A and B are shown apart, each in its own frame.
Chain A
């Protein structure tokens, strides 16, 4: 039983939404969805839907907050008031402040900020619908928006959350599994480089469970990475076709 006494996984190892323990939710991605932004992406992991937009590199005001040797990153992770079961006040919560920080630090590991000194790259993330794994979905979306904006990066970032429900490790947890489970471990990495940029754990795991959870997340991140690359390729293929027609 989970914290709430809810049975989240049945005797056949099937989860409440019908998935197997190591199965991702259906993932959809689209880039260039916003006209005004330099880059944008809309990413869904099941019912969790996140929109990310990139503005910049652009002039930062006030100018004293810029750096002489590289660009600064300004990141806001924000949940829409209607994204949750009960309305969430649009004012930033402690949680959103913390997540904005860990997402910024993750993105900073991938962007070649030294190419744009004295500027800012602004990344705005809006969680439109929250059903677990919003910070990892946000990172996947933000990284694609940066790619869509043409900002040079060492690699894309993809993320996923592994959880523990009723004593069993499960991949890509939804909200019911997060709130009723024993652990939530979001992980994000640059898959091609094998570099982990985000790692948090909320809950308890043994050392062996932790190692297993890392393996599960890395495997899933590589799958998500393939979808990211395909989505970007499709967009550029479409652009080339349109150019030919003109």
Chain B
């Protein structure tokens, strides 16, 4: 059951008024312009024991993604494909609002937004993960770990997921005599990323649209729109969030801004890890 949150900090009206009066003159509380993003820092291969990983900072928001590739059974309707599983954990050390326990609706929503963008664009080649089609395939477990919540968890998770998957090595599994996949020394190669996909979130506060919202801006926003893009500008997913509403014109403007922000993310990712440009 989804319940109206009652634990969110009440943002005092005066604070909302301050945010709005700043927006009126094209400024934000942290000194940014409306379309600016915070400083992005990307550290690929942060966890040695994972098969792929990335630590991403957007301002004070910190997200760590670790990837593990392990044997599993294929879906009955897609017998000759491996599986990508995206999971998100909002661990309690990341925010006073996060509690230990099973993932809440926000964690599920975040994981499913990222999952859909990669799945629908067929961003990673799942066919090469079918060790024995119909029987044994490799499962790519992409675990998103939120380490500090200062707003815009979705974009940070999307960047970290893309970098981690782009840097994922496929362990060397071989079928043993009993018919089980056994992990051998070394790696068989890297995961094939056929398309890069990113998600950018825009918040609407009053009549203004802001890129990369902070936690405080998320609380005072009327609604947020997360838009996923591939590098050629195709829309690869969308999610409106928040208990407010948007008009058709708002959506057009927010998609435009999300695309601008996406290009910034793509360029940050390329410089950080030197990904070759898409063919």
Residues on A close to B: CB < 8 A? 64-67, 72-76, 94-95, 97-98, 100-105, 108-109, 113, 183, 185, 189-190, 193-207, 210-211, 214, 218
Please tell me which one of the listed residues A98, A113, A193 contacts residue B112 in the complex, with CB atoms under 8 A apart. Answer: A98
* A199 contacts B251, C-beta separation under 8 Å: yes
A119 vs B103: C-alpha distance when bound (angstroms): 26
**A104 pairs with B4, CB closer than 8 A:** yes
A204 contacts which of B3, B111, B121, B248 (Cβ < 8 Å)?
B121
A181 → chain B, closest Cβ, in Å?
11
**Chain B 215-249 interface residues, beta-carbon cutoff 8 Å to A:** 225, 230, 233-248
A111 CB to nearest B CB, Å: 10
Contact indicator B108/A218 (Cβ below 8 Å):
no
State A97–B239 Cα separation when bound (angstroms).
15
> Does B24 sit at the interface, judged by CB under 8 A?
no
| Contact for B6 among A66, A101, A204, A205, CB less than 8 A | A66
Q: Are A109 and B243 in contact (CB under 8 A)?
A: yes
Contact B241 A105 (CB under 8 A): yes
User: Are B239 and A207 touching (Cβ within 8 A)?
Assistant: no
B230: nearest chain-A partner, CB-CB: A204
The answer to whether A108 and B240 touch across the interface, beta carbons within 8 angstroms, is: no
- Which chain B residue has the least Cβ–Cβ distance from A4? B77
Chain A minimum-CB-distance residue to B246: A196
A94, B239: Cβ atoms under 8 Å? no
1/0 contact string of B144-166 vs chain A (CB within 8 Å): 00000000000000000000000
| Interface residue tally on B, bucketed by range | 35 or more
Give chain B's interface residues, CB within 8 Å of chain A.
Answer: 1-4, 6, 105-106, 108-109, 111-112, 116, 120-121, 225, 230, 233-248, 251-252, 255
A214 and B248 in contact (CB under 8 A), knowing A67-B4, A100-B2? Answer: yes
The residue on B at minimum CB distance from A214 is B248
Chain B nearest CB from A67 CB (Å) reads 5
Query: Is the CB–CB distance between B246 and A195 below 8 Å?
Result: yes
CB distance from B141 to the nearest CB of A (A): 15
A210–B248 Cα distance when bound, in Å, is 12
Please name all residues of chain B whose beta carbon is closer than 8 Å to the beta carbon of A198 when the two chains form the complex: 240
Q: How many Å lie between the Cα of A126 and that of B163 in the bound state?
A: 40
Q: Which residue of B lies closest to A111 (CB)?
A: B243
Instruction: Determine whether the beta carbon of A210 is less than 8 Å from that of B247.
Output: no
Inter-subunit contact A105/B243 (CB<8 Å): yes
Residues of A within 8 A of B230 (CB): 204
- Contact A201–B3 (Cβ < 8 Å): no
CA distance A202 to B235 in the complex (A): 10
Check if A200 sits within 8 Å of B239, measured CB to CB.
yes
Contacts of A185 in B (CB 8 A): 238
Question: Which A residues lie within 8 Å of B236 (CB)?
Answer: 203-204
Q: Find the B residue at minimum CB distance from A105.
A: B243
Which of B6, B242, B243, B246 counts the most chain A CB atoms within 10 A?
B243
Write out the residue numbers on chain A whose beta carbons fall within 8 Å of the beta carbon of B247: 194-196
Q: CA separation between A196 and B245, bound complex, in Å?
A: 5
Q: With CB as the reference atom, state the residue of chain B lying closest to A198.
A: B240
**Which chain A residues lie closer than 8 Å to B240 at the CB level?**
102, 196-200
| Contact assessment for B237 and A201 in the assembled complex, using a CB-CB cutoff below 8 Å | yes
Please tell me which one of the listed residues B4, B6, B111 contacts residue A108 in the complex, with CB atoms under 8 A apart: B4
The answer to whether B2 and A203 touch across the interface, beta carbons within 8 angstroms, is no
Select from chain B the residue with minimum beta-carbon distance to A157. Answer: B245
> B253 CB to closest chain A CB, in angstroms?
13
Q: List 12 A-B contacts (CB under 8 A).
A: A72-B4, A74-B2, A75-B3, A95-B112, A100-B105, A105-B243, A196-B245, A199-B251, A201-B237, A204-B230, A206-B235, A214-B251
Nearest to B234 among chain A residues (CB) is A204
- Bound form: Cα–Cα A34–B119 in Å: 40
Tell me if B251 and A196 are in contact (CB < 8 A): yes
Tell whether, in the assembled complex, residue A218 and residue B251 are in contact, meaning their CB atoms are under 8 Å apart: no
Are A101 and B2 in contact (CB-based, < 8 A)? Answer: yes
Q: A199 vs B226: C-alpha distance in the bound complex, in angstroms?
A: 10
A192 and B120 CA atoms in complex are apart in Å by 33
CB distance from A95 to the nearest CB of B (A): 7
Chain B positions within 8 Å of A103 at CB level: 2
